[in-house]
Amino acid sequence: MCLQETHGLPFEVLTELGILLPGWQVLHSSRQDVHGLELGGLGGVAILICPKIVEFCDIKHTVLFPGRIHKVTFDFCCGQSVPPSQVAVSPDRCFEVFNAHNFGLRRIDIVEIAEEIDRMKLRDFAAPGRFVSFFPGDFNFPPNNELPVILGRPQLDLHSPRPNFLSYHSHKSLWEGMFDKFIEFAQPNPTHFNSQSFSLSKLDRILSTLPASLSTKLRLQADVFSAPESLHYRKISDHAPVLLCIGLRDPQKRFRCSLPKAWVSGPIFESRINFITDLVQPLSLLILEQLPNIKECIRQAAFFSPGFL
């Protein structure tokens, strides 16, 4: 669980979260002044880890920018139920969670963070079977230049009904360059309510280095918990939590949907479908089995092609 804007001194945040989620490990970072003193009133970030994950992972906490950017590295051995450090073996799997609150950062800070993200990107893309990273955060700019949604009828004296994301100093172009070739767990609902402009925007997002070809084999679902305007009027937050669920598809249950045209055309698809049909020989089967097997050959060839595009 990743939190942004955890206002309070470290011991206050740790105590409160420990009461709400007993047994969870809380890794917190708060803003600091020029002398290195904690400034709880300026917000912070935290990553909360459930006890089940702590049982079999070695965990390392790295603060990249105090109170704004940090990450947690989880090292573990495939099929092992205890952390690698307890049995003196080298971990063979690793996933990282990069938690960001993109606010009040200078351009030079973003450039330094970009070096770390580029290192993670190169490592994950070179060995996707061993490494994967997730990037949740409040990035303070919407994806694909999406415009905010205005609630109701704006007041006549409201001069700027649409928030100007450039004024937030979000360094949008730098972040988008870092997240090039990442996949985003898209969901259609807004995540932030601006009470001044009475508008809703999608500022909170989750991205990953997960291979696109693997995502078709998993059950993925992203959504928001409650509406941000409702949470605002209940004096909880002006942001809505974003949820991500990842699971394995049940091989006994086939999820049928239309396939994108790009997946069922081109030389890669044609080569794969010819290869599969030569192996299966669907026309040699019983008449009632031919059509289901032909459809399955097409689907398998389509799911094979995204990994080569």
* pLDDT value, residue 247: 86
User: CA–CA separation, 110 vs 242, rounded Å?
Assistant: 24
The tokens of 171 are what? Answer: 């360094």
User: CA–CA separation, 178 vs 302, rounded Å?
Assistant: 29
Q: For residue range 11-38, what is the model confidence (pLDDT) as tens digits?
A: 888 999 999 999 999 999 988 877 777 7
Give pTM, 2 decimals.
0.75
Going residue by residue through the chain, which has 309 residues, state the pLDDT in tens, using 9 for 90 and above: 999 988 888 888 899 999 999 999 999 998 887 777 777 677 899 999 999 999 889 999 999 999 999 999 999 988 777 888 887 777 888 999 999 999 888 899 999 999 999 999 999 999 988 999 999 999 999 888 888 888 875 555 554 445 555 445 688 889 988 888 899 998 888 999 988 888 899 999 999 999 888 887 888 889 898 889 998 998 888 999 999 999 887 766 655 667 888 888 888 888 889 989 998 998 888 887 888 888 889 988 888 876 545
Is the CB of residue 93 less than 8 Å from the CB of residue 77? yes
* pLDDT value, residue 167: 45
Half-sphere exposure of 261 (CA within 13 A, CB side): 0
Phi, psi of 206 (to 5 degrees): -135, 125
Q: Domain 2-248 is classified in which CATH homologous superfamily?
A: Endonuclease/exonuclease/phosphatase (3.60.10.10)
Is the CB of residue 133 less than 8 Å from the CB of residue 125? no
Q: For residue range 72-119, what is the model confidence (pLDDT) as tens digits?
A: 999 998 877 788 888 777 788 899 999 999 988 889 999 999 999 999
